[in-house]
C-alpha cells in the first residue's frame, strides 16, 4: 500500500532525497489506535470497554449497530447515541431469544387477542387500537436484564452486553388497563400472560418454541403499562416489535413483549420455561450471590419481574477517544435512570470516586425516562485521570461501588468510571 | 486533476523503493506545532454499504426483507459439523463465538440445557461430541482469540 502523501512527495521532489529522514517518532504517530480494530475477544477477564467487543453491522431500518448475535438477532447500541435523552429508533438496541422473527406483517389480518379468563374476548385490529381507545404517551427506558453482563467476574454465559443493551423512547399507545376493562377480566385471574409473533423452531412446550412472560394481575407496574403502536412518534421498527409492543415502565425489557399478539388472563401461575426457569434472580439484596452458592442448588430464586430496574448512570462523553488538554474545561455529559422512582441526584467524581460533586440535571421527561446530566470539569494536571458518576433515585437508592454476581448475569448497576488521558497544554 | 495524477504516477514509482510510513518532516516542521500531516492508511476497519430505499406498495403488508447474517467462522476440529448442524437448527453459531471462554462444566451444562429445556433434538452420542468440541476450543485454557 501507499503511504506517501502528495504534499510529502512534493516536498521530497523539491528538496531532494535528504529531506526523507523518516524518524521512528513519525511512524509511531501513524500507528495510532484510531485505525486499529478493537480485539473481538476479551478472554475470561472483565470486558473493559463501554460497549461489547463486536463489529458494526447493518440491519433493515437500523443504523450500523454492534452485532452480538445474528440468528436470533441481538444488536447493541453504540455509546454516542446515549448523548441524547431519547434513543433514535434506528439506533435502538435489539434483543430476541428465538430466531423466527417476523419479516412481514399483514395488518389486514393481524389481530391483538385478549383472551383466557375474560368475559368478552377481544380481537382488535391495528386501526381499532388507535380509533377506539384513548392514546397515551410515556417516556420510558427499556433495558435488557443482562445489560452489562460482560462486567461479571467470573464471566457468565449469555448475551455479552457492554452498556448498550438499553434505550429510551417516547411510547404512544393504549393503556393496558383500558384494554383489560374492555375485555372484562373475570374473578380468579392471577396473572396476565403476554406473547408476541416471534417464536422458534423448538417443540411445543419447550423454551425454543415460544417466549411467554407473565405478570401478576395486581402488579402496580401494569397501571402504567401501555400497548404501544408508536415509538418516538414513529411506527415501531420491525426489530423493536412492529406492529405493537407491550411497555412496562420500570421493569426490565424481557417483559416488554415485542409484536404483542396475545394477552391471556391466567387462573393459575404461569409455569412455562420463560417464567419457571429463565430470567430468575436470587432472592437476596441486589440479587447478589456467589458461584459457590449458585452451584449448591439451594439458591432461592424469584422471577426478575419481582424487582424494578435499579438506579444507574453513565458517562457518555468524554469517552477516552481524545486526549484532553490540561486546563481546558470539559463538558462531561451522560444519562441516568431508575426503574424505581425518578433520579433525583447525579454526582460526579474527578478522583476515581473518592470525592463527589453534584452534577446538573437536564430536562425532566418523566420518572421512567433517561435524565441527562452534565458537569464542567477542568483537569489541572496532565496524566491519567479516572472520572466516575453515581446516581440516586427518589427512594434514596444510591448506586453502589461493589460489583454484583449472580448466575444469570442480571441487575448490574455498579458505579461507572472513565479513564482519561490529560495532556500538557504548553 | 492532471497534476494530481502525475504526482500519483511518480509516487507509485517511488513507493516501491522507499515505502515510507508517514509524512516528510522537512515540510511539516516549517510550521511550528505541526507534527504530521497528509498521512493516510488502508481502511482496515472496513466499511458497510448503505441500504437502497424500499419501494413499498400501499397495501396492508409491512415487510422489511430478509434478516442478514454475520456469522464468524468456528474453530476447525472434530465435531464442528455436528455443532453447525444441530446447534444451527435454532440459532447461528455466533452464540458460541460471542461467549467469553467458559469452563468445561459450563459447556456441558449449556448443551444439556439446550436439550432438556429448549427441546433440541440431539441424540446422546452427538451431544457428547458437541460438548467435546466446545471444551476443546472454547474454554479459558483452549481459546486464545
Per-residue burial over B73-103, b = 16 or more CB atoms within 10 Å of its CB, e = otherwise: ebbeeebbebbeebbebbbbbbbbbbbbbbe
Q: Do B106 and A157 lie within an 8 Å CB cutoff?
A: yes
Find chain A residues with C-beta within 8 A of B25's C-beta.
Answer: 21-23, 26
Q: Taking CA atoms, what residue in B is nearest to A101? A: B67
Instruction: Give the per-residue pLDDT at A257.
Output: 98
Query: pLDDT of chain A along its 426 residues, tens only?
Result: 344 454 554 444 444 443 333 444 444 444 455 678 888 889 999 999 999 999 999 999 999 999 999 999 999 999 999 999 999 999 999 999 999 999 999 999 999 999 999 999 999 999 999 999 999 999 999 999 999 999 999 999 999 999 999 999 999 999 999 999 999 999 999 999 999 999 999 999 999 999 999 999 999 999 999 999 999 999 999 999 999 999 999 999 999 999 999 999 999 999 999 999 999 999 999 999 999 999 998 999 999 999 999 999 999 999 999 999 999 999 999 999 999 989 999 999 999 999 999 999 999 999 999 999 999 999 999 999 999 999 999 999 999 999 999 999 999 999 999 999 999 999
Q: Are A360 and A375 in contact (CB under 8 A)?
A: yes
Instruction: Give the per-residue pLDDT at A421.
Output: 98
Is residue B3 very low, low, confident or very high in pLDDT (cuts 50, 70, 90)? very low
Q: Chain B: nearest CA to A103, how far in angstroms?
A: 6
Mutate one of A43, A59, A151, A157 to test the B interface: name it (highest B CB count within 10 A): A157
Comparing CA positions, the residue from A299, A312, A331 lying closest to residue A141 is A312
Q: Do B69 and A108 lie within an 8 Å CB cutoff?
A: no
All structural domains of chain A: 94-278 (3.90.420.10), 312-423 (2.60.40.650)
C-alpha cell at A143: 433495558
Is residue B11 very low, low, confident or very high in pLDDT (cuts 50, 70, 90)? very low
Cβ contacts below 8 Å, chain A against chain B, sum to 215
pTM of the model: 0.91
User: 3-state secondary structure string, A276-333?
Assistant: HCCCEEECCHHHCCCHHHHHHCCCCEEEHHHCCCCCEEEEEECCCCCCEECCCCEEEE
| Span between the terminal Cα atoms of chain B, in Å | 45
Mutate one of A2, A10, A151, A292 to test the B interface: name it (highest B CB count within 10 A): A2
* Span B12-33, pLDDT tens digits: 444 444 444 555 556 556 899 9
Query: Strand locations in A323-382, DSSP E?
Result: 324-325, 330-337, 343-349, 357-358, 360-361, 371-377
Kindly give, in sequence order, each residue whose CB lies less than 8 Å from that of residue B130, ignoring residues fewer than 6 positions away: B79, B82, B83, B86, B87, B111, B122
Find chain B residues with C-beta within 8 A of A47's C-beta.
Answer: 100
Is residue B144 very low, low, confident or very high in pLDDT (cuts 50, 70, 90)? confident
Instruction: Give the per-residue pLDDT at A59.
Output: 97
Is residue B118 very low, low, confident or very high in pLDDT (cuts 50, 70, 90)? very high
Instruction: Give the per-residue pLDDT at A37.
Output: 87
Domain boundaries B80-137, corresponding CATH code? 1.10.760.10
Q: Do A59 and B7 lie within an 8 Å CB cutoff?
A: no
Q: Chain A: nearest CA to B16, how far in angstroms?
A: 9
A193, A248, A418 from A261: Cα distances, Å: 11, 16, 42
pLDDT greater than 60 at residue B77? yes
Nearest to A26 among B23, B41, B110 (CB): B23
CA B144 to chain centre: 16
Kindly give, in sequence order, each residue whose CB lies less than 8 Å from that of residue A26, ignoring residues fewer than 6 positions away: B21, B22, B23, B25, B35, B36
A251, B35, B82, B143 from A144: Cα distances, Å: 10, 45, 31, 28
Domain boundaries, chain B: 80-137
Q: Are A80 and A144 in contact (CB under 8 A)?
A: no
Q: How far apart are CA A351 and CA B70, in angstroms?
A: 41
Q: How far apart are CA A149 and CA A165, in angstroms?
A: 10
Q: What are phi and psi of A220, to 5 degrees?
A: -60, -25
Q: Do A57 and B68 lie within an 8 Å CB cutoff?
A: yes
Q: Do A104 and B61 lie within an 8 Å CB cutoff?
A: yes
Is residue B6 very low, low, confident or very high in pLDDT (cuts 50, 70, 90)? very low
Nearest to A157 among B60, B61, B102 (CB): B102
Amino acid at each position: 500500500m501507499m503511504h506517501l502523501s502528495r504534499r510529502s512527495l512534493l516536498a521530497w521532489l523539491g528538496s531532494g532525497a535528504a529531506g526523507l529522514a523518516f524518524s521512528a517518532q513519525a511512524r509511531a504517530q501513524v500507528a495510532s489506535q484510531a485505525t486499529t480494530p478493537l480485539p473481538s475477544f476479551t478472554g475470561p477477564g472483565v470486558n473493559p470497554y463501554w460497549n461489547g467487543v463486536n463489529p458494526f453491522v447493518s440491519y433493515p431500518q437500523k443504523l450500523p449497530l454492534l452485532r452480538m448475535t445474528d440468528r436470533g438477532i441481538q444488536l447493541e447500541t453504540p455509546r454516542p447515541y446515549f448523548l441524547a435523552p431519547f434513543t433514535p429508533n434506528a439506533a435502538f438496541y435489539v434483543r430476541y431469544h428465538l430466531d423466527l422473527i417476523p419479516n412481514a406483517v399483514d395488518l389486514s389480518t393481524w389481530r391483538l387477542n385478549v383472551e383466557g379468563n375474560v368475559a368478552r374476548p377481544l380481537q382488535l385490529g391495528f386501526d381499532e387500537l388507535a380509533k377506539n381507545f384513548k392514546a397515551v404517551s410515556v417516556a420510558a427506558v427499556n433495558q435488557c436484564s443482562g445489560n452489562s453482563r460482560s462486567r461479571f467476574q467470573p464471566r457468565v454465559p449469555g448475551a455479552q452486553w457492554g452498556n448498550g443493551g438499553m434505550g429510551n423512547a417516547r411510547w404512544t399507545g393504549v393503556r393496558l388497563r383500558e384494554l383489560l376493562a374492555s375485555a372484562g377480566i373475570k374473578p380468579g385471574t392471577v396473572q396476565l400472560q403476554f406473547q408476541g409473533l416471534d417464536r422458534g423452531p423448538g417443540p411445543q412446550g419447550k423454551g425454543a418454541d415460544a417466549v411467554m412472560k407473565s405478570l401478576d394481575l395486581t402488579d402496580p407496574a401494569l397501571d402504567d403499562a401501555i400497548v404501544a403502536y408508536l415509538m418516538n412518534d414513529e411506527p415501531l421498527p420491525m426489530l423493536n416489535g412492529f406492529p405493537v409492543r407491550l411497555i412496562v415502565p420500570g421493569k426490565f425489557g424481557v417483559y416488554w413483549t415485542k409484536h404483542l399478539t396475545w394477552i391471556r388472563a391466567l387462573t393459575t401461575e404461569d409455569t412455562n420455561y420463560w417464567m419457571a426457569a429463565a430470567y430468575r434472580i436470587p432472592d437476596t439484596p441486589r440479587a447478589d450471590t456467589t458461584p459457590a452458592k449458585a452451584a449448591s442448588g439451594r439458591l432461592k430464586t424469584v422471577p426478575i419481574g419481582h424487582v424494578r430496574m435499579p438506579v444507574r448512570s453513565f458517562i457518555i462523553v468524554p469517552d477516552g477517544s481524545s486526549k484532553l488538554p490540561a486546563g481546558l474545561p470539559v463538558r462531561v455529559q451522560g444519562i441516568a435512570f431508575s426503574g424505581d422512582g425518578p433520579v433525583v441526584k447525579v454526582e460526579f467524581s474527578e478522583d476515581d470516586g473518592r470525592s463527589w460533586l453534584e452534577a446538573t440535571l437536564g430536562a425532566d421527561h418523566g420518572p421512567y425516562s433517561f435524565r441527562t446530566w452534565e458537569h464542567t470539569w477542568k483537569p489541572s494536571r496532565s496524566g491519567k485521570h479516572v472520572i466516575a458518576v453515581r446516581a440516586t433515585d427518589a427512594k434514596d437508592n444510591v448506586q453502589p461501588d461493589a460489583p454484583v454476581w449472580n448466575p444469570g448475569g442480571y441487575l448490574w448497576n455498579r458505579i461507572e468510571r472513565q479513564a482519561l488521558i490529560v495532556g500538557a497544554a504548553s | 486533476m492532471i497534476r494530481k495524477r502525475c504526482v500519483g504516477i511518480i509516487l507509485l514509482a517511488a513507493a516501491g523503493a522507499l515505502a515510507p510510513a508517514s509524512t516528510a518532516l522537512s515540510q511539516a516542521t516549517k510550521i511550528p506545532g505541526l507534527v504530521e500531516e497528509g498521512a493516510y492508511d488502508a481502511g482496515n476497519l472496513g466499511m458497510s454499504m448503505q441500504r437502497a430505499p424500499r419501494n413499498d406498495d400501499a397495501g396492508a403488508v409491512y415487510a422489511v426483507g430478509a434478516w442478514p447474517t454475520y456469522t464468524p467462522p468456528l474453530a476447525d476440529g472434530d465435531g464442528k459439523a455436528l455443532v453447525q448442524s444441530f446447534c444451527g437448527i435454532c440459532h447461528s453459531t455466533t452464540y458460541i463465538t460471542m461467549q467469553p471462554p467458559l469452563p468445561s462444566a459450563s459447556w456441558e451444562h449449556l448443551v444439556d440445557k439446550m436439550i432438556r429445556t429448549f427441546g433440541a433434538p440431539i441424540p446422546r452420542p452427538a451431544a457428547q461430541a458437541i460438548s467435546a468440541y466446545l471444551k476443546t476450543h472454547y474454554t479459558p485454557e483452549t481459546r486464545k482469540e
